[in-house]
Structure 1
Amino acid sequence: MANQYVPDPRAEAHIEAAKHNFMERLMGDIAQDAKRYAPVDTGELRESITAEVHGTTGTVKATAEHAAYVELGTRYQSAQPYLRPALYQQRGGA
């Protein structure tokens, strides 16, 4: 029988921890940029921006009631994107 590769559980745990740490840094950087790009009137929008990491999936969101209207605009107000520019910011090796 041919030798089969058996992963080292310690190595697997180290890799998973590294992926999680990378995602936390990346999501934190994106949230920080979004806060910097967000237009400020009362500060509610900026304060509502959060980052979450679940395994190797991350989410940056703004929970202020008017967040989508600011990001996308309305027929009365031009868009003032803050999430998309933060997401598309080049991250040289985050």
Structure 2
Amino acid sequence: MAVVVVLAPGWQAKLRPYVSRFMDDLASDIAADARRYAPIDTGRLVESIRVHRRGAYTRRIHAHAPYAAWVEYGTAPHIIRPNSKKALHWPTARHPVAVVHHPGTRAQPYLRPAVYQRRTP
């Protein structure tokens, strides 16, 4: 004895709104976690995290702050030189300097932990 199950024509179109709603909820949860995990200095990074819809089945969670990747991955030690002036100066510096040997920054992941967070339906 055998049973044959056949899906009705157009079954994908009937599932599309449910899958799309699930993807909206999932992306929203990931973005909320990323905002919670992001380090807060000025708040600009947290405020820059957005969800972009790319069709029914794709969502992109993106941090728009220009330094977002440096926070996520950190930076290696590097040298900073002036671009157009002869020296660098900032408010807390004692005097202008020609070069800065930056020690780098440690990574402070916020997006990857949010993506890999275990979620239950």
Same fold per superposition (TM over 0.5):
yes
**1:14 Cα deviation after fit:** 3.1
Misfit runs of 4+, over 4 Å: none
Q: In the alignment, which residue of structure 1 is the partner of 2:59?
A: 58
**Which consecutive residues of structure 1, in runs of 5 or more, have no partner in the other structure?**
none
Q: In the alignment, which residue of structure 1 is the partner of 2:106?
A: 78
Q: Which amino acid in 1 is paired with 2:61?
A: V
Q: Which amino acid in 1 is paired with 2:108?
A: Q
Q: Which amino acid in 1 is paired with 2:33?
A: D
Q: In the alignment, which residue of structure 2 is the partner of 1:42?
A: 42
Deviation sequence 1:11-49 (CA, Å, 0-9, x none) = 543310000000000000000000000000111000000
Decide which structure has greater helix share: 1
Deviation sequence 1:47-67 (CA, Å, 0-9, x none) = 000112221011101010000
- Give the match's secondary structure for 1:52: strand
**Which consecutive residues of structure 2, in runs of 5 or more, have no partner in the other structure?**
1-5, 77-103
Q: Which amino acid in 2 is paired with 1:18?
A: Y
The whole-number CA distance in structure 1 between the counterparts of 2:67 and 2:12 is 42
Q: If the length of structure 2 is used for normalisation, what is the TM-score?
A: 0.67
CA RMSD in angstroms, aligned pairs only: 1.5
The whole-number CA distance in structure 1 between the counterparts of 2:7 and 2:21 is 25
Q: 2:115 aligns with which of 84, 87, 90?
A: 87
* Alignment: residue pair count: 88
**1:86 Cα deviation after fit:** 0.1
- Give the match's secondary structure for 1:92: coil
- Give the match's secondary structure for 1:86: helix
Bigger radius of gyration, 1 or 2?
2
